[in-house]
Amino acid sequence: MEITAAMIKELRAATGAGMLDCRQALTEANGDFDKAVDWLREKGMATAAKRSDREASAGVVELYSHGGGRVGVMVEVNCETDFVARSEAFLKLAHEIALQIAASSPQYINDTEIPESVLAHEGEIAKNRAIEEGKPEAVAAKIVEGRLNKFRDEVCLMRQAYIRDESTTIQQLIHQNIASIGENIIVRRFQRWELGEGINTTQE
């Protein structure tokens, strides 16, 4: 896979590592951003990734209302100090994350939170769909895994494409802010409400 200047720039912004180190990491990871971050961490070069091990107990609970009150979001975003929690950059990030949740309706923060029963159910749907499409069994397995990854990308906040830049995931956006702000940043929890959600509209 070709390693572009844009890919190197993005990895550098997210990790604080040098240009040549970022190029080597991306080459070793065959262009995979998350694997490149892990490679840099293993080599002790990713300053932003190192910060992800530090405790973050300060922060803000961001509230956002959209569509004249039709959608409401509450999200807790943590950092390490009250000083950063009050900074314009951190508050902007918390607001952007709330916007993302309002627009893209994630169900989980990370893919590790998805219950195995949910993945099994989605996998069964994907398998049956592949069979109905007449795909050979060997090909069907790859199709199922691909559709499960797409499902994870849709329902997990960290894997979602950032609404303002679809080439960046929310995880990458947070890594970029960790590098620039200088503290660990964590999305602790969130809740999204939509007007009329859960109301049974079936008429007797």
Most distant CA pair in the chain, distance: 68
CB 99 within 8 A of CB 90: no
pLDDT at 50: 57
pLDDT at 78: 94
User: What is 5-51's CATH number?
Assistant: 1.10.8.10
CB 75 within 8 A of CB 189: yes
Q: For 23-34, what is each residue's pLDDT tens digit?
A: 888 998 988 888
- Same fold for the domain at 5-51 and the one at 115-155? no
CATH topology of domain 115-155: GTP Cyclohydrolase I; Chain A, domain 1 (1.10.286)
Angle at 124 between CA 118 and CA 125, to 5 degrees: 95
pLDDT at 108: 96
Q: What is the pTM of this model?
A: 0.69
pLDDT at 203: 42
Amino acid found at 54: R
Domain ranges for the chain? 5-51, 58-106+160-194, 115-155
DSSP assignment of 29-78 equals TTT-HHHHHHHHHHTT--HHHHHTTS---EEEEEEEEETTTTEEEEEEEE
User: What is 58-106+160-194's CATH number?
Assistant: 3.30.479.20
pLDDT tens-place values along the chain, 204 residues long = 788 888 888 887 777 777 888 888 899 898 888 888 888 877 766 656 555 556 677 899 999 998 888 999 999 999 988 999 999 999 999 999 999 999 999 999 998 898 999 988 988 888 888 878 777 777 777 888 888 889 999 999 999 999 999 989 999 999 889 888 888 899 999 999 998 876 654 443
